[in-house]
Structures are given as C-alpha cells and as structure tokens.
Amino acid sequence: MTPPRRHKPKPQAPAPRRPQAPAGDAPRPPTAESALQERRRPRAPVRAFLGLGSNLGDRRAYLAGAVARLPDVVCVSPLYETDPVGGPPGQGAYLNCVVELATTRTGRELLAEAQAAEAAAHRERVERWGPRTLDVDVLLVGDEEINEPDLVVPHPRMWKRGFVLVPLGDLAPELVIGHLTSELARGVRPAGTL
C-alpha cells in the first residue's frame, strides 16, 4: 500500500477573527453567529479530515490545487480511482483522496474553506450528484458534532463509502475499524499519489 504523504504546509493565515473596530470606535458587539463560532472554536488544534473527489477535467490537477489552498493540511492520503456512486449514468470515474488537518477552525469555517476550494476549481452546481471538477466534504472535525440543514458532521454518508473509508484508513486506521468491510473496499483502485 502506498504510504500517506506528509504535507509540507504553506504558511497559513490564522483562522479568521472578527475584525477589530478602528481605534476610538466602540467595540462591535458579537453577532449571534460569531458568538456561536467562538464558543465552538477548539483551543488546541484537533484532527480534522476532508474528503476530496473529482471526475471531470484534469482530476489530478483539481485535487492538487485543493490540497495547496486548503488550510492546516498535515497529511494527504494516496489517490484512489472509483466508479461513481449515485448520480446520472455515463459519468466518468472519480479520483478520490482524504486530507488530514491539524486545525483550530470550526466545522463551519472548514465548510467555507471547502466551498472556496470548489469555487476555485470552477465547479458548477448543475445537477445534484452530477459530475464535478471538485468536491470537498467535511468528514470529521475532532469530536465536533454539527446537525444543521447545510452541514452535518461527522459526514452522515462517510461510513458507507469505500472511496472515503479506504483513504481515511490510510491516515487514521483506528477510525475505520468496524466500518471498512471488504465489500466496501472492493472497486477502490490505487491510483498513485499527488
């Protein structure tokens, strides 16, 4: 099995904080949203995992571009090629990998980073489950649990997807024990590294 690749991170800007009010101005009161974010922010970095997939265009380049722009990446799994799960017939095969972050960002902040990476890959949301240049899913963020209409963490479908569990198992074998069956691993084909 190809070992996971340690990622040499580019210098990262710190997680966004509320902008400081200009000197002399009264400090702005926290909004409900910013107060919630601050309460959820882990004090020490936690292990977080994002699932990346591409089945349109130069798949390897889209994945590499996402790894380069995502924050706090410490490790990248090998790549795997997989047939599309769901979606319209006739789609091309996916290239998938999982990245590990050591981060103090919240799940909600990581969703914003994931969506920014998808936008940078010119992803168009044409049809649900349809082919895409880049998909970035927030899988796990420490022990954070989120149940909101647009974000559920841990990712609700990850435990049934071989294309997530196989690369996740390369980075964190203890997390997939009891979930990764030989049936799920079937058809997940090694495709080198980034």
Residues that bind ligand GSY (CB under 6 A): 53, 82-87, 94, 96, 129, 135, 137, 163
Nearest CA to 125 out of 150, 107, 146 is that of 150
Closest-by-Cβ residue to ligand GSY is 53
Active site residue 58: no
Minimum CB distance to ligand GSY, residue 75 (Å): 19
CA distance 143 to 193: 28
Write out the DSSP string of 57-89: SSHHHHHHHHHHHSTTEEEEPPPEEEPPPSSST
* Residue 135 or 170 having the CB closest to ligand GSY: 135
CA distance 55 to 68: 19
Q: Which of 132, 161, 186, 189 is catalytic?
A: 132
- Residues whose CB is less than 8 angstroms from the CB of residue 111 and which lie 6 or more positions away in sequence, other chains included: 138, 150, 151
* Residue 30 or 88 having the CB closest to ligand GSY: 88
CA distance 149 to 75: 29
Q: Which of 105, 135, 161, 170 is catalytic?
A: 135
Active site residue 150: no
Minimum CB distance to ligand GSY, residue 116 (Å): 17
Q: Which of 59, 108, 123, 161 is catalytic?
A: 123
Minimum CB distance to ligand GSY, residue 164 (Å): 8
Minimum CB distance to ligand GSY, residue 11 (Å): 29
Describe the chain by its helix, strand, coil percentages, rounded to 5: 30, 20, 50
Active site residue 132: yes
Cite the active site residues: 123, 132, 135, 137
